[in-house]
Amino acid sequence: MKIKNFRWWIVGMIAVATAINYLDRQNLPVALSEIRKTIPISNMQYGMMNSIFLFAYGTMYAIGGRLLDITGTRVGYAILIIWWSLANIFHGLVSGIMGLGIARFLLGVGEGGSFPGSAKVVSEWFPAKERALAFGIFNTGSSVGATIAPPMIAFIVYLFSWRWAFIISGLLGLFWVIGWLCLYTIPSKSKRITETEKNYLADSFEKERGAADSNRETVPWMSLFGYRKVWGLIVIKFLTDAGWYFFIFWLPKYLNDVRGLNIQQIGAYAWIPYAFAGGGSLLGGWLSSFLIGRKISLDLSRKIPMAIAAALLPASLLITHASLSMAIVFFSMAMFGHQAWSTMVQTLTADMFPSGTVASVAGLAGSVGTYGAMLFSLLASYLITHFGYTPAFILAGLLHPISFILVLVIIKKIELVKMKIDPSPKNQLVV
């Protein structure tokens, strides 16, 4: 059966997958107060478990992106989600801190390829004028998953136990895979796409990419390091992913430690910043697409939303000095800003690199970004243990403004990089 505008159904599917992804990883932060009744976990041990997850996640981010460029997204994406769903279920079966650490590692391995895979899907199905909005829609999934996580997990824990929160969310991923395998393939091979949409995409990509993307083969992985714009993405991901993961991993714990909220109260409050984060994804993508529609250059259409987003993150500096309600407002502003920023950064990957390298570049940059988050998690756990939350929030709030300055310096113009299929690594960076 042909489906009109099938590309938007595709981005809807990866948005759902991303929502499940974030629901799964939020189980531990939200249910931590209940898990501690069964498995004692200190602040340093919690920071270590976050770092274990992020190390596995970051490593697989690069490897998974590369594998998806080689094998394709249909089967590769399905394998990743089956893996992380089973790993999530495993959390509910462990009996001690060691088992929980192993489960976090396995979850990170599976989830690491999700965003590179999603970036590749968008690059295959959306031309530049629609790409930012498409990224915004799928990136909203991360906020949707994180938004429904606190009340959903609190409800499951109330009805059953913290173990069932992991098991039920893991089962959701396994059900999603069935629909994915039934529906997904690239546009040229899809049986669901109309001829009108197929021709529209073919014409759009030809005009946009031309000969630069006529060959969709991958390039040698090491050669990517010879491109200035790759290094630009690496640097900004290293800094800003640290702030994002600090917020999502430590928000529930902050509400428990400092504000004295129990799991039900956390469920009532913690969803609000995540909901605003979803709004940031959508509005950031919409604004960029709107600017392109007004004939603003691709470069400015991406950088203007990035500048606005970066300006919102310093709101986190005020969190520890505010009332509970205002603290939630400042959390919301910061997380709204990050997701608008994240949508733009993911869009840049598809803007600047041929489709055959999108997942590899996204995976490489995301991998380094996750290592940055891992290091920041360890630093945050130390700061919080010895000095409280304030210095951690200050550092997290300054990372995005610094990164935007670096964007202006390193990525001087957002445009497609002309990559050679079989280049030798160069001594000088390619702009």
Segment 104-121, tens digit of pLDDT: 899 988 887 777 777 778
Query: Residue 59: how many CB atoms within 10 A of its CB?
Result: 16
**HSE toward the beta carbon, residue 153, CA cutoff 13 A:** 37
Evaluate if residue 213 carries a pLDDT over 50: no
The pLDDT-based confidence of 85 (bands split at 50, 70, 90) is very high
Can you spell out the DSSP letters for 148-187?
HHHHHHHHHHHHS-HHHHHHHHHHHHHHHHHHHHHH---G
pLDDT top residue among 217 and 73 = 73
Evaluate if residue 191 carries a pLDDT over 60: yes
Return all residues near 234 (Cβ < 8 A) that are at least 6 apart. Answer: 364, 365, 368, 369
Say how far apart CA 320 and CA 394 lie, in whole Å.
10
Evaluate if residue 428 carries a pLDDT over 60: no
Q: What's the average model confidence in pLDDT over 194-204?
A: 80
pLDDT of residue 59: 80
User: Two tokens at 406?
Assistant: 């670096």
Q: Give the pLDDT confidence of 278-314 residue by residue, as tens digits.
A: 788 788 888 988 898 888 888 899 999 999 999 999 9
Domains of the chain with CATH codes: 6-410 (1.20.1250.20)
The pLDDT-based confidence of 277 (bands split at 50, 70, 90) is confident
pLDDT > 90: percent of the chain: 14
Can you spell out the DSSP letters for 195-224?
HHHHHHHHHHHHHHHGGGGS--PPPPGGGG
The pLDDT-based confidence of 426 (bands split at 50, 70, 90) is very low
Which of 28, 84, 30 is CA-nearest to residue 61?
Answer: 84
Evaluate if residue 276 carries a pLDDT over 80: yes
Say how far apart CA 361 and CA 189 lie, in whole Å.
25
Give whichever of 165-169, 206-210, 352-356 has the largest mean pLDDT: 165-169
Are 344 and 288 spatial neighbours (Cβ–Cβ below 8 Å)?
yes
pLDDT of residue 429: 40
Which of 374, 113, 410, 426 is CA-nearest to residue 242?
Answer: 374
Return all residues near 364 (Cβ < 8 A) that are at least 6 apart. Answer: 61, 62, 65, 221, 224, 230, 234
Evaluate if residue 123 carries a pLDDT over 60: yes
pLDDT top residue among 207 and 379 = 379
pLDDT of residue 157: 85
Question: How far is the CA of 264 from the CAs of 46, 260, 268, 324, in angstroms?
Answer: 21, 12, 6, 16
Phi/psi at 427 (nearest 5 deg)? -75, -25
Q: What's the average model confidence in pLDDT over 352-373?
A: 79
Evaluate if residue 403 carries a pLDDT over 90: yes
Q: What's the average model confidence in pLDDT over 390-398?
A: 91
Evaluate if residue 400 carries a pLDDT over 60: yes
pLDDT of residue 431: 45
Which of 409, 296, 18 is CA-nearest to residue 180?
Answer: 18
pLDDT top residue among 427 and 416 = 416
pLDDT of residue 333: 93
pLDDT of residue 421: 53
DSSP state of 294: T
Q: Where are the alpha helices (DSSP H) in 72-113?
A: 73-91, 97-111
Amino acid at 210: G
pLDDT of residue 194: 84
pLDDT of residue 416: 76
pLDDT of residue 212: 46
pLDDT of residue 401: 94
Question: How far is the CA of 93 from the CAs of 27, 46, 99, 158, in angstroms?
Answer: 14, 19, 9, 18
DSSP state of 5: T
Evaluate if residue 215 carries a pLDDT over 50: no
Average pLDDT, the chain: 82
Q: Give the pLDDT confidence of 15-45 residue by residue, as tens digits.
A: 888 888 888 877 888 888 888 888 888 877 8
Q: What's the average model confidence in pLDDT over 133-147?
A: 76
User: Two tokens at 256?
Assistant: 């428990």
Say how far apart CA 290 and CA 116 lie, in whole Å.
25
pLDDT top residue among 167 and 346 = 167
pLDDT of residue 221: 65
Query: Residue 390: how many CB atoms within 10 A of its CB?
Result: 14
Evaluate if residue 322 carries a pLDDT over 70: yes
Q: What's the average model confidence in pLDDT over 390-401?
A: 91
pLDDT top residue among 181 and 147 = 181
